[in-house]
Amino acid sequence: MSYYDNRELSWLKFNARVLEEAQDTTTPLFERLRFVRIFCSNLDEFFMIRVGSLRDKLLCEPKDRENKTNMTPKEQLNAIARQVKKLLPLKDAAYADIMGGLTAFGVEHLDENRLSAEQDAFFKAFFAREIRPLLFTGIMDKKHPIPFLKNCEIYVACKIHRKGDAQGKYTFGILPASENLPRIVFLPNTEGMGFSGKFLLIEEIIRRYAKQIWDNFEVLSSAIFRVTRNADIEINEGLFDHDVDFRSVMEKLVKKRKKLHPVRIEFQGSPDSDMTDEIPKLLDIGENFVFKQSAPLSPEFMSVLEKRLERYPELFFRPLTPQRSPQILPGKPLIEQIRQRDILLSYPYESIGQFIGLLEEAAVNPSVTSIKITLYRVARDSKIIGALKTAAENGKHVLALVELRARFDEENNIGWSKQLEDAGVNVIYGLEELKVHSKLLLITLRDGNEVSYITQVGTGNYNERTSALYTDMTLMTANRDIGSDASVVFNALMTGSTVESTNRLLVAPKGLKSGIVRLIDNEISYGRDGYIGIKINSLTDRDLIEKLAEAARVGVRVELIVRGICCLIPGSDNADNTMTENIRVISVVGRFLEHSRIYIFGRENRKQVYISSADFMTRNTEKRVEVAAPILDSSLAERVCGIFNTILRDNVKARELCADGKYRRVSSDGNPPLNSQIWFYEQAYKANENSYAAIAESKPSNSPVKVKIRRIR
């Protein structure tokens, strides 16, 4: 149907919006460089997972067609390659522009082919002293086993001719440029004290002086390259047999991932055509997936530059600090406050430290009998893990479901699971064929014969680091129905089963999608008086897309905030020209990653509001354990709707998806500029200042409260 877009191509449109932030001259210069890095790391993961999966499908099911645009795996791969080759020159131009601007701040990425005599002498000596002793060489041709090339590691290829061999005969030598070597090398200051900001990358130095390595060969040409390997590992049912240790199997699979088939090769600069033709063939990489670019292949060196530039605040975003929620009174037990009223935190504007305070309080509260939590991604120095260990050591029954299949966090989670077990925590893993992606915490208390619950449901991970970078929400409630539902969820997880029904929570895989369809159907019954507002990361579930289109067709107003993939194209022309004309889709890409999920159904007094961990993707609605929680407190529901509506009015970082499938900047239409993320931070600062002022007024004159507020200017 004409209102569908392909999932993979829609994702590339999202990454193009990330790249727009790198091109935006109103963004501080180093922050633009950071967006280049995000664009590159996003693309790496896309090739490892999505392209890797499509390549597998091409081999096993070449005639299979995806269910929205009817494209075969080959058609999708070809379209991906074409689109990526359009984006890479834009990325290269952005990098060159940014680095050109940084020269005014003393940082300069030198051209290895335009070094002065003094510069050449320094780098040549550095190569001989610091690099050459650590290099090992490999040969790549039909007569030698191909050396193993690590995923996303940088190498220098040299086209070499053995002295004495026939003219025109050559082979390829391979030099690693990543392991045990500094990523970036700075020139010394002209005064001889310390180092300047002028630099070359280690691979550029190796390429320039590679002739010193091959004593018996003539180096005809050289090139920097790297390969990207398929990382889409599958977990089969047999791993869940009772006589198999799932954690040890996952450890083996993570190691296996590092050796899967290459799906992409990138060359930097203008390499010899023999290299770009023959090396990919030796690696069995099709010509469509050979990419050339002028910018560095890996942006990891940028963190070194950041330290050198910290003294220039104009190169960075203004520092912003997550604030204390005005809902939470300092010095008073949080459990008692939650029993009095529901509390909603909004990250990064409000601090996750307040939620951590709840866990730390529960760990020592004598009334707390158990703590149960689902862990998908956590920080490497997690205070949340520390609180759970403390609770177990204090004799609480602590259950932690650690999802070992959280992509690219498998090793991290394997390590945490071992630490938790050592501390006495009861650790379980995800269900057979179902990842547990929910963000759910249940604290059970017993006071005499009375049992009560404190339940937390979030949209994002229990990760202190990302809570300062991602927009997310967390609900903390003492509502007994929600607590009972959470208890049902954990009981099912402990027995390896899924939840059949609940009273308040919507729980995937059996109750979330059906619950959303029911809520959409209810709005359909209201026709033009109906309303649906959804904020998610991705929209790919065909059933839900069809339902939203059905609602729009009968006049329901549908407003979607979809940060990433959106397979529904609004306002598209088709047979009756009304399928999606009542649907508006925007995407906000800015300083923080939009990550919260909000579902709103209905207008005014009949409005129902949910927050959730689930996107509208089939993997979330049918193949994961996800939880959506209703916001039952009317004031909090209005707050969530206010957040949603403010994002809809963003005219600085919002792009609107148009009927032609392209995203365009939202026009201000004469309205004042509104960057919703910065506006929310300003409100958090003001609310914190006002709450401190109110506390100060309530204190006796001999008990002053010191207020220290950092204003946004």
Mind telling me the catalytic residues? 437
429 contacts 504 by C-beta, under 8 angstroms: no
Question: Hunting for tokens 């938790």 — which residue is that?
Answer: 420
Contacts of residues 298-301 at CB distance under 8 Å and 24 or more positions apart, as own/partner, are 298/40, 298/152, 298/154, 298/226, 299/36, 299/37, 299/40, 299/41, 300/37, 300/183, 301/183, 301/184, 301/201
Residue 119, Cβ density class (10 Å: 0-12 exposed, 13-18 middle, ≥19 buried): middle
Distance in angstroms (rounded) separating the CA atoms of residues 20 and 10: 15
Residue 30: both structure tokens together: 């180093």
Q: Which amino acid is at 17?
A: R
Alpha-carbon distances of 658 from 8, 398, 584, 646, 648, rounded to whole Å:
18, 49, 9, 20, 15
Distance in angstroms (rounded) separating the CA atoms of residues 508 and 492: 12
The helix/strand/coil state of 371 is strand
The helix/strand/coil state of 169 is coil
- For residue 415, give every residue at least 6 positions away whose Cβ sits within 8 Å of its Cβ, in sequence order, or none: none
Distance in angstroms (rounded) separating the CA atoms of residues 549 and 535: 16
Distance in angstroms (rounded) separating the CA atoms of residues 541 and 559: 17
Indicate the Cα dihedral angle 415, 421, 427, 433, nearest 10°: 40
What is the CA 621 to chain-centroid distance, rounded?
19
Residue 651: both structure tokens together: 């005219």
Pairing relationship of beta strands 426-428 and 470-477 according to DSSP bridges: unpaired
Measuring CA to CA, which residue among 480, 414, 472 is closest to residue 444?
Answer: 480
